[in-house]
Amino acid sequence: MLDFLNRHVVQPIYAAKAGSRHLQYLRTLRRTQFDPPEIVRARQLAALQAILRHAFDTVPFYRAAWTAAGVHPNDVKDLADLRQFPIVTKTDLRTRAAEFHSEAYRGPYVTKRTSGSTGVPLTIRLDEPGKQWKYAGTLRGDEWSGWRLGQRVAKVWGNPEYRHFGLKGRLRNALLERAVHLDTVRLTDGRMREFVTAIRRHRPGLLFGHAHSLYLIADRLKKQGIDDVRPNGIVSTAMPLHDWQRKTIEEVFGTKATDRYGCEETSLIAGECEVHRGLHVNADSVHVEVESGESTGPLLVTDLCNRAMPLIRYRNGDHVTLTDRACSCSRGLPLIEKVEGRDADYVVTPTGSLISGISLTENFACLIEGTAQVQIVQEAVTHLRLRIVPSEAFGVDSRRQIARLVGDTFGPTMRHEIELVDAIPQEPGGKYRFCISKVAPAAARALR
Ligand SMILES: [Zn+2]
């Protein structure tokens, strides 16, 4: 009954009050997902041509780079023609951010500051219509998991957003999102117990979180013999979902886990449908390609709907395998067979809690002045090595901020050393690991 009211009354009222069109967009996206591949491609081409023209006419970076490369939006008659255009790197975005802002876009936008999956702090502008369109795309992806709009969501995530908005945020959460949260920044035994009690009481329609956190919860329930937590859907995101994790999660919750892939810079890139073979590209919002033109390699993503700060052929640091295979669900959206890159780890505190690498690197990269990139290596329970690629602004203050942040996060017994480096070494296969703990896997096992 509450789900029904939320879906048909509360959600539309909030959307109207906020002036957000995401529910209309969601209806459109539900309908068009079953269009045949050629229609989807035609729509992508039209969106691509429009964003290329907009970028060339109003964004200084692209006008200069494309002129220098001798390419023009009018040259693009097919999606493959995009291959002639230069690539945008994280360094471009970090050092020349202002040149990516559209001179013509005067509407509202949100600013997102992120360390991404490689520990490079970036600031992204996303225009309001683009934000609403992307939100609708994410809701559609949530529905592929079996969840329905209006049903409660349980989130396993660091730093829940609603807490930053005081009473208004809490009210919005209580009425609109009705989410139950487990904060993974401090994943203690006690917190996990409380969360399990909450999801048993609230019976969420969707369980949503980092792959490894979902696994830890599933494993805990399994050990306690609890088998009555039955969400309609489970969405796993932000890190690879390993088969052994998926197996435990699906066994304990009695439902399929839906793997999802995205990055902060463009939001949702692809997600599994109910068939769970490959991930459907969110083709209404992004166009993806592999840099080499082969099926496997570094991903280039083009945002089709952000006019405030267009991202065209952006190398986000992940590796993927694309496929031409058609999915048996009959959706016309193209498939990513597998996301190869991207890994997150956990760090263990001297008191035995686990802190997720994503949340941690985000904090270090965003809060410390003068860091171009950060890698955190935990050598021992009380010993951290911080590999930092410094920018010009790195100095005495940065070191002081680091000492304070380490103390606040891990307590007084954690030692740390700072290693200034020219670059963070890549793993074989081109992956970056922004957080490597030599002791957390054992601690995670002990927690079970
Ligand atoms: Zn499918």
Distance (angstroms) between ligand 1 centre and the Cα of 34 equals: 10
Q: Of 173-187, 188-202, 382-396, which gets the smallest average pLDDT? A: 173-187
Residue 272 maps to a domain: no
Rounded average pLDDT over 212-234: 85
Question: What is the predicted pLDDT for the residue at 314?
Answer: 96
Provide the whole-model pTM.
0.78
Pairing between strand 153-157 and 179-183? parallel
Residues 241 and 248: beta-carbon distance below 8 Å? no
Residue 359: pLDDT band (50, 70, 90) is: low
Over residues 61-111, the pLDDT tens digits come to 999 999 999 999 999 999 999 999 999 998 899 899 999 999 999 999 999
CATH number, domain of 392, equals: 3.30.300.30
Rounded average pLDDT over 28-50: 97
Distance (angstroms) between ligand 1 centre and the Cα of 437 equals: 36
Is residue 121 located within the same domain as residue 150? no
Its sign, for the CA torsion 375, 378, 379, 384, is: positive
Residue 267 maps to a domain: no
Distance (angstroms) between ligand 1 centre and the Cα of 194 equals: 36
Residue 423 maps to a domain: yes
Instruction: Please give the Cα distance from 358 to 349 (Å, whole number).
Output: 15
Distance (angstroms) between ligand 1 centre and the Cα of 235 equals: 15
Mean pLDDT for all residues in the chain? 87
Taking phi over 0 as left and psi of -120 to 50 as alpha, with beta for the rest, 131 belongs to alpha
Rounded average pLDDT over 376-403: 92
CA neighbours closer than 13 Å in the CB half-sphere of residue 7: 14
Distance (angstroms) between ligand 1 centre and the Cα of 55 equals: 32
Cβ atoms < 10 Å from Cβ of 94: 15
Is residue 43 located within the same domain as residue 173? no
Residue 265 maps to a domain: no
Residue 113: pLDDT band (50, 70, 90) is: confident
Instruction: Please give the Cα distance from 143 to 210 (Å, whole number).
Output: 18
Residue 239 maps to a domain: yes
- Full residue range of the structural domain in which residue 294 is found: 1-138+278-340
Distance of CA 31 to the CA centre of its chain: 25
Is residue 1 located within the same domain as residue 134? yes
Residue 270 maps to a domain: no
Distance (angstroms) between ligand 1 centre and the Cα of 290 equals: 21
Residue 176: pLDDT band (50, 70, 90) is: low
Instruction: Please give the Cα distance from 159 to 184 (Å, whole number).
Output: 8
427 pLDDT higher than 70: no
Is residue 374 located within the same domain as residue 436? yes
Which of 340, 358, 393 finishes a domain? 340
Is residue 4 located within the same domain as residue 123? yes
| DSSP element (H, E) containing 53 | helix 37-58
Question: What is the predicted pLDDT for the residue at 214?
Answer: 87
Residue 262 maps to a domain: no
Distance (angstroms) between ligand 1 centre and the Cα of 29 equals: 15
Nearest to 46 by CA among 78, 7, 90: 78
Question: What is the number of structural domains in the chain?
Answer: 3
Rounded average pLDDT over 280-302: 94
Distance (angstroms) between ligand 1 centre and the Cα of 329 equals: 4
Which of 293, 309, 340 finishes a domain? 340
Rounded average pLDDT over 200-225: 85
Over residues 332-351, the pLDDT tens digits come to 999 999 887 554 467 888 88
Is residue 202 located within the same domain as residue 284? no
Rounded average pLDDT over 400-423: 92
Highest mean pLDDT among 46-55, 160-169, 319-328: 46-55
Distance (angstroms) between ligand 1 centre and the Cα of 298 equals: 23
Is residue 332 located within the same domain as residue 355? no
Report the Cα–Cα distance between both ends of the chain, in Å, rounded: 36
Residues 293 and 278: beta-carbon distance below 8 Å? no
Distance (angstroms) between ligand 1 centre and the Cα of 273 equals: 5
Instruction: Please give the Cα distance from 430 to 342 (Å, whole number).
Output: 10
Is residue 409 located within the same domain as residue 387? yes
358 pLDDT higher than 90: no
Is residue 329 located within the same domain as residue 351? no
Distance (angstroms) between ligand 1 centre and the Cα of 156 equals: 25
CATH number, domain of 56, equals: 3.40.50.12780
Distance (angstroms) between ligand 1 centre and the Cα of 285 equals: 17
Rounded average pLDDT over 318-331: 93
Residue 413: pLDDT band (50, 70, 90) is: very high
Share of the chain above pLDDT 90, in %: 53
CATH number, domain of 194, equals: 3.40.50
Is residue 237 located within the same domain as residue 292? no
Distance (angstroms) between ligand 1 centre and the Cα of 275 equals: 6
Distance (angstroms) between ligand 1 centre and the Cα of 108 equals: 34
Distance (angstroms) between ligand 1 centre and the Cα of 379 equals: 42
Contacting residues for 13 by C-beta, under 8 A, at least 6 apart: none
Is residue 95 located within the same domain as residue 56? yes
Distance (angstroms) between ligand 1 centre and the Cα of 274 equals: 7
393 pLDDT higher than 80: yes
Residue 263 maps to a domain: no
* Residue ranges with strand state E in 267-342: 267-271, 279-281, 286-290, 296-303, 314-323, 335-339
Higher pLDDT, 436 or 110: 110
Is residue 336 located within the same domain as residue 350? no
323 pLDDT higher than 50: yes
Which of 297, 318, 340 finishes a domain? 340
Distance (angstroms) between ligand 1 centre and the Cα of 225 equals: 33
